[in-house]
Structure 1
Amino acid sequence: MIQRAAYKALEEHLSSRHITVITGLRRVGKTTALRFLLDKIAHQNKLYLDFEKAENRLLFNQTLYGDIELGLQALGLNLQAEAVLALDEIQLVPNAPSIIKYLYDTYSVKFLLTGSSSYYLKNHFTESLAGHKRIFELFPLDFREFLLFKGYQSSQFEPFRQKPYFPIYYQTFKKEYEEYVRFGGFPEVVLAATQPDKTAFLKDIVNAYIELDIKLLSDFKVSDDLYRLCQLLAAHTGSLLDTVKLSSILGINRNKINEYLSLFEYTYFIQRIPAFTRNKDRELSLKKKVYLADTGLLSVLAQVSSGQVFENAIALQLARLGSVQYYQRKTGQEIDFVLDQTIAVEVKETPTPYDLRVLTQRATKLDLTTTWLVGLTAPGSEFRDWYWGGSLLPG
């Protein structure tokens, strides 16, 4: 099994009495992470239940806790001894938090849970399990994990992490990074052998997200409207969010649009980036930019330019490195991203010395002393004062 970056912290939490909760978008690898943890349990008094199976939901939907206890014992879990209970897709059983709390308080059970949405977990677990859980967020693969999934060794790419353009590194991994930008980082998409398979998986993920997760987690019933909004957000990735315009185009009430957007963000489908300003009061009034949570999803939802796809990819990569903002003046001058309020980042498909000069001038006016000009394709000159997107690996 390929170890993901989150596994180390997850494994360390196994020794904690607190509940381990893994959340994230559908099919980012939560079940695989759960099985990884179960394999690390030395004793055999452990049980895995997948709530996508009706019989397991039926067990936890019983009225009497005693019947649930008997059911767990019938499945081989000894509640009188130290035990581990792994529950997959807990959002499918609305009363799961109260049952988990009862078993947690009554027996020496270590719980390992997965759920497809922070929206559900944060709202339903806040009271009943407050102080008894730790939530771990799992995202699509970053480019470092992508390369590991492709069979490369970390020693081949770690020396170039967050370093300026290096020709040999670029030439070695250029095709891999282009695939990563185009199809994103869902594990099964990365491992799919053909492009049609990758596209089919991505379409299935979008449909399952809207038809299963969103309908389950909310009272939104109009899936056509939700899908149209997803497409519109994809088409405008990297643009300022204008809810009035979205409302006009879709014919949906502005307040409902805001509810949809909040739910999309809570369920990891979109990422909203705030404006960079030294005036905190003004920051609240400025519009945010929107990016999709995976460039593969972007590719199946809308026909956008390669520059938009690349910018979306960099937005996601930077989010793994720290806090991300954008800068834009009324005059139109802008800096694509500001990382941790210290690094000015400009994204160009093919970077040039002129791009670097403009970025440096704008960054200097904002007292940003560090600049990253990030590119996708190497220019035909000897210019090397830029960062290839494939080098923006997390630490």
Structure 2
Amino acid sequence: MIKRNIVSKILPWIGKQKIIILKGSRQVGKTTLLNVIKEKILGKDKQAQVAYLSADDIDNAPFFSSPDALETYLKQLYGFPDKYIYLLIDEFQAISQAGLFLKNVFDRHKGNLQIIVSGSSSLAITKNSEFLTGRAINFDIARISFLELFNYAGQTEAKIISLGDFKEIGLFYRTFSGRLNLLFQEYITFGGYPEAVAAKKAEEKKVILESIVKVYLEKDVINFLKVENITAFNQLLRILAAQAGNLVNARELSNTLNISINTLNKYLEILQGTYLFDLIRPFSTNPRSEISKMPKAFILDLGLRNYLLKNFDYLEPERGALAENFVYLALLEQYGKDQINFYRKLGGSEIDFVIDRGRGKTLCEVKYRSQVGEPLAFKNFSKKYGGFKLNKLVITKDLVKEENGVHYLPVVMLPFIRLEE
């Protein structure tokens, strides 16, 4: 089994008077995580009562028809409420008025029941969250990270290295560069869906990715979210996949797809809300200015990108774009979307990523080649925003060095580095 780093963050909340919500795309391993949580609970107390129900299963629909029906089920099978119950619910967004339902159950029985749920649509989860304010703790479940893939492939547990420890960074890279580069090629080709990662053959991985897309379109897009113009939606998927890392021009896209701006914005919201793409905003000290400018799109799984573009083989010309998207995923793992922006000025000055650390900013530029110097945009940013403490980072193909306050790191090393010194 692939060890997930998120587990150590979830476990301290077990047994607390909080609903635990695991959010993430279909097939990222949320059900597996629920089973891991169950094993951890039973490992600590073999007599613990753990109930599991999938709200996606039509056979379980009667148990979710009302809080009373669920309580009756738990009473008959698990001795509730005399016994404390851990209730695990998979795909909880399938419950009618899920937020209100969970609120009612929680408020009645929070002293002898903990509810742990998974959900595949942040749109539905957000809609239901108003009922769960103060009652729930949320965890975003991503696909397998490159760090997790490295540990799984080598049956090791690599330690995170501080950016300030360049001697250790260089030693780690020299020791593992062969393995890192092989895994990088695999990761940017087939991505991080757990089932695809575990599959041994390339053709198996492709079939798995095809299945994931088909289930997503059928269950989430058509059946659950009721998207009617599926042709335009599919075209948008492929356009964004081909242009990952580029600006999203809403008017241009709406004209290309022959749909209204409102419909396009709805589709973009769906793609973000179902964990396929992120849109990040340009850096600005004026929040109003930041919102009004065009965002950049990044896909949240590179295997998914290659499936949508029907290209798993000839990726060399796209290495720069793939490396930039890979860097975004690594930064997302460490910082979260809300802290990541990009910098772009009318004069052409650009920085791929600006990480917001309050009074400090990390500037990150991706240059997927072996020889590179400090980007001019770093100097321009320093002049314009001299009041910030700046951390400067250039992501390269294989260059490791520190020069004039700029850190140069191979792209494969970023997931192993703690950027805060």
Q: Give TM-score scaled by structure 1 length.
A: 0.89
Match of 1:139 among 139, 142, 152: 142
Match of 1:125 among 123, 129, 140: 129
In the aligned structure 1, how far is the partner of 2:238 from the partner of 2:372? 35
Shift in CA distance, 222/385, structure 1 to aligned 2, threshold 3 Å: same
SS class of match (1:392): helix
Shift in CA distance, 25/65, structure 1 to aligned 2, threshold 3 Å: closer
By how many angstroms is 1:209 displaced? 1.8
SS class of match (2:244): coil
Q: Which amino acid aligns with 2:115?
A: F
Superposed CA RMSD: 2.5
Match of 2:102 among 93, 97, 100: 100
Alignment of 1:113 with 2:117, yes or no, is yes
Q: Do the aligned partners of 1:161 and 1:391 also contact (CA within 8 Å) in 2?
A: no
Q: How does 1:209-358 map to 2 (within 5 A)?
A: 209-302=216-309, 305-322=318-335, 323-340=339-356, 342-354=361-373, 356=374, 358=376
Q: Unaligned regions of 5+ residues in structure 2, if any?
A: 401-405
By how many angstroms is 1:389 displaced? 1.5
SS class of match (1:259): helix
Q: Do the aligned partners of 1:51 and 1:57 also contact (CA within 8 Å) in 2?
A: yes
In the aligned structure 2, how far is the partner of 1:185 from the partner of 1:160? 25
Q: Do the aligned partners of 2:271 and 2:277 also contact (CA within 8 Å) in 1?
A: yes
Q: Which amino acid aligns with 1:291?
A: F
Match of 2:213 among 206, 209, 212: 206
Q: Which amino acid aligns with 1:16?
A: K
SS class of match (1:210): helix
By how many angstroms is 1:87 displaced? 0.7
Match of 1:49 among 36, 50, 53: 53
By how many angstroms is 1:78 displaced? 2.6
Q: Do the aligned partners of 2:371 and 2:399 also contact (CA within 8 Å) in 1?
A: no
Relative to structure 2, which stretch is displaced further, 203-212 or 247-256?
A: 203-212
SS class of match (2:154): coil
Aligned match of 1:375? 396
Relative to structure 2, which stretch is displaced further, 161-170 or 313-322?
A: 161-170
Partner deviation per Cα, 1:143-175 (whole Å, 9 max, x = no partner): 1111122233124x6448785654333234211
SS class of match (2:354): strand
SS class of match (2:247): coil
Q: Do the aligned partners of 1:243 and 1:254 also contact (CA within 8 Å) in 2?
A: yes
Shift in CA distance, 77/147, structure 1 to aligned 2, threshold 3 Å: farther
Q: Do the aligned partners of 1:161 and 1:392 also contact (CA within 8 Å) in 2?
A: no
Aligned match of 2:403? none
Q: Do the aligned partners of 1:335 and 1:344 also contact (CA within 8 Å) in 2?
A: yes
Q: Do the aligned partners of 1:28 and 1:140 also contact (CA within 8 Å) in 2?
A: yes
In the aligned structure 2, how far is the partner of 1:77 from the partner of 1:179? 49
Q: Do the aligned partners of 1:182 and 1:309 also contact (CA within 8 Å) in 2?
A: no
Match of 1:85 among 79, 83, 87: 87
Give the paired residue count: 386
By how many angstroms is 1:65 displaced? 4.4
Match of 1:391 among 398, 403, 413: 413
Q: Unaligned regions of 5+ residues in structure 1, if any?
A: none
Partner deviation per Cα, 1:361-394 (whole Å, 9 max, x = no partner): 3443344743211123569xxxx96211121126
By how many angstroms is 1:265 displaced? 1.3
- Counting aligned pairs with the same residue, the percent is 25
SS class of match (1:31): helix
